[in-house]
Structure 1
């Protein structure tokens, strides 16, 4: 078969695969969640296998652990967060009053900035009118969601499908990986395995390490703020933990929200403000000196801007499915770009530039700043 025909055939197969994937996006979410859960749980099952436990029993133990965690979330954490959300909703009119009466006049006095707050009054009136209708709003949303029986049944099917698919993927993970490896072209197996290994290292550091860092920081922030007596401490701590997906974002978002909530609840009490700053300072110190070096290390290689862009782009293009795929795809692209960059540095294209620069005069070398670095490296 001619080489051009092979290339066109491969492009056709790739295009057909992408088109099929795009058409199947509405039903892919539970499978992608299952793949991510199986990927994150596989090292735990492998560890249990080293202790002479069968693969199936290892998967069952991991499932029992996950079920216990979810049960604790349902019985303890979710009701607490729900109560704090209701409290936040109830406190919002008072917060608007505080902004109008205290915060904005202070800003205007100190900075001389016009702080017109006409829109805040409308927002306060709307919230006050609907404050006693929280239960009715929840019932209305639930009735609209369940109005379509097919959508409701589809949601239930996805919820039941995730644990089933995850179980089988976890049990047969090593077998599936082995079969995929045997399908690779023999001439490209070593390179492909090397690139996949780099992707696995980056994804493992991020999906396991960074999530554990987020969980630990969320616990530290929430417990610290609740001990200070901050009414919305749990909600702010969890928000700061989630925002820690991007380095320093959790610290900035968390300390800003906590200081505003502290001033609103306690006024300018210096002990509370110092306590809030201390909580986030301790969390930041733990992250930089202990959590990140221990759980993530320097293997991740994803720039914070790349993380933000990947999540936003994935959500914009493919919705929730795109959010699930954003970081794995970004990690794979980063590894491929790193490989292509290495190939370029070793190619004749990159080396030819130094040869051309070596033939020009010293005066031209000084003028051509782009040539100086290759010549210095070659010498």
Structure 2
């Protein structure tokens, strides 16, 4: 029996080692195919987000193809409207930024750096001197080792990257349409591969993960849009020439806790100092973001997002940064979905652990009986025989 048990444990360990090797190989392959997988992941997310609306239209009597065409057309119309409205606006804001660059440079050299030097006693201006920079580059030219060759290689790679970007943009609507049309088939095919003994558990975890993630992404997207509009209009009302651009940036960064308002406040204060140089407009910037944070904290996030992802803000920041470090843009795109699914699995693992013998121990749990709730049973009365 001992020999049989030892062989069973060895086989179990080898199976676990095999699955670990498969998981590591899949992660390595994902890392290699990151540039190729980005449009597929984006299209899959759009298909997953649009599938509930397609199913609702099907339940109302429309065919799958008709429902997919209607949802895909609506999604395309929204994207086109956003591009038509935002692209010219952002283009004008960028042109304003380019025209204002000399003012920002003068403010940096004449105001910001002298202020920092006076309080830190560091000679920062020497490092920004043009002649000093030329001499520094010249002294380290040989150490750089073929800067021209490296630059040409980068330009060449950038050209291929631009072509790849246009190819991914062209593929995105096509892939989104196919994911919308075949989403239920893909789910059914994946479900058919799940072992039958674990089908109920896997189905429950998949539904919980999908519900948590879908609610979070839809709610967070609405929060980003609303805050971007609020910040942009508020800073524009304060009088900042770059207010709309700063508001859009702050709104887009809202999905990372504290990063959106922090970046907006810093950029808005710098823009106010360069453009006006007084405290009134800085206070205006702070008031705009203060009102935005109050609305987000007490109305937008509780109503639209809530605690549906169940992650601490520090965990969200770590997930986004870790995903970007490991897999670039694809990693940042998948960071929150993967973190939400992992959180659901961790809750399930916690439930299994608290019900296991490892947590409860070998002794049976003690049952406390409330004697005040017990009823007195009357003793039987002996009757005389008739």
SS in 1 for 2:255: coil
Residue 175 (structure 1) shift: 2.8
Residue of structure 2 equivalent to 1:39: 48
Q: Any residues of structure 2 matched to 1:125-164 within 5 Å, and which?
A: 148=160, 154-164=164-174
Change (3 A) 1:165 1:117: same
Worse-matched range after superposition: 78-87 or 114-123: 114-123
Residue 298 (structure 1) shift: 1.4
Q: Distance in 2 between matches of 1:104 and 1:83?
A: 29
**Structure label with greater radius of gyration:** 2
Asked if the contact 1:205/1:297 (under 8 Å) is kept, the reply is: no
Q: Over residues 223-271 of structure 1, what are the superposed CA-to-partner deviations in whole Å (9 max), with x where a residue is unaligned?
A: 111222211111110111122112232222212221221122122152x
1:205 aligns with 2:180: no
2:356 to 331, 347, 350: 347
Residue of structure 2 equivalent to 1:301: 310
1:119 aligns with 2:127: yes
Q: Over residues 95-153 of structure 1, what are the superposed CA-to-partner deviations in whole Å (9 max), with x where a residue is unaligned?
A: 232233334445666x5755633334549x99xxxxxxxxxxxxx9xx857855xx665
Residue of structure 1 equivalent to 2:96: 87
Q: Distance in 1 between matches of 2:203 and 2:328?
A: 31
Q: Distance in 2 between matches of 1:216 and 1:174?
A: 32
Asked if the contact 1:104/1:115 (under 8 Å) is kept, the reply is: no
Residue of structure 1 equivalent to 2:200: 190
1:263 to 267, 270, 273: 273
Q: Distance in 2 between matches of 1:331 and 1:313?
A: 15
1:292 to 283, 301, 325: 301
Gaps of 5+ in 1: 127-139, 356-379
Q: Over residues 10-60 of structure 1, what are the superposed CA-to-partner deviations in whole Å (9 max), with x where a residue is unaligned?
A: 556545544554444342111111111111222332343444433322322
1:318 aligns with 2:296: no
Q: Distance in 2 between matches of 1:147 and 1:13?
A: 35
Residue of structure 2 equivalent to 1:363: none
Worse-matched range after superposition: 82-91 or 327-336: 82-91
Residue of structure 1 equivalent to 2:68: 59
1:241 to 251, 269, 279: 251
Change (3 A) 1:319 1:274: closer
Residue of structure 2 equivalent to 1:96: 105
Q: Distance in 1 between matches of 2:303 and 2:165?
A: 38
Q: Distance in 1 between matches of 2:354 and 2:79?
A: 49
**RMSD of the alignment, in Å?**
3.4
1:335 aligns with 2:340: no
Moved over 6 A (4+): none
Q: How many residues are aligned here? A: 338
Q: Any residues of structure 2 matched to 1:220-239 within 5 Å, and which?
A: 220-239=230-249
